[in-house]
Structure 1
Amino acid sequence: MEEIDNDKLLHDFFAENKQEIADNGFSQRVMHHLPSQSNWLVRIRTALIVIIGTILFVWLGGVEATLRNMQEAIANIDQKSLIIIAIVLLYLGMKKICSLT
């Protein structure tokens, strides 16, 4: 109940003390200097870099190295670490579920 009162008090305070600040064309100048959203050349360059990086990762054995390291890490893990990992994953999962509601 007190939280609702605080929210109402804050809302009333800011409504009473609202001030308009003169823009003097500042927003328009900022928007004019922003890069265009339809810059297709940047998108093509980004796509090419991602494709080249993926090809190099696979060609140089990144997939095999990643899988091998994951298998070694899992093989060398002890029971206490597994319990800690499970608790952390459960906590993060519950936090994500609660944030969706």
Structure 2
Amino acid sequence: MMENDDKLIKNFMLANKHEIEDNGFSRRVIRNLPQQAKRLSDMLSVACAIVCCTFFYIFNGFEVLYQAISDIITSQAYYLISDTNFQSWVIATVVLAIIGVQRVCSFKW
């Protein structure tokens, strides 16, 4: 029942949809906004950026960022290594070593 009502409402709204022409009204409103508000907004943005950069420097942001990235990489490496079958690593390493020696020595088996 609700689905049918939703379809009826949607069809009614689509059938009775009216577009209101703008005739450049929005552009004129934006053009007539006071420039002082824009300058104030720009000054506030610059002030906030300066404060953020200052706090980043004062609280050793680079060190914190480096530590966070390091922790993420370490935890992901640990996660990948903890699920690793080391016998497969040994076999793959031996096979790659044999292939490398074969290419370096240029002899065929």
Same fold (TM over 0.5): no
Of the two, which has the highest radius of gyration? 2
Structure-1-length-normalised TM-score: 0.42
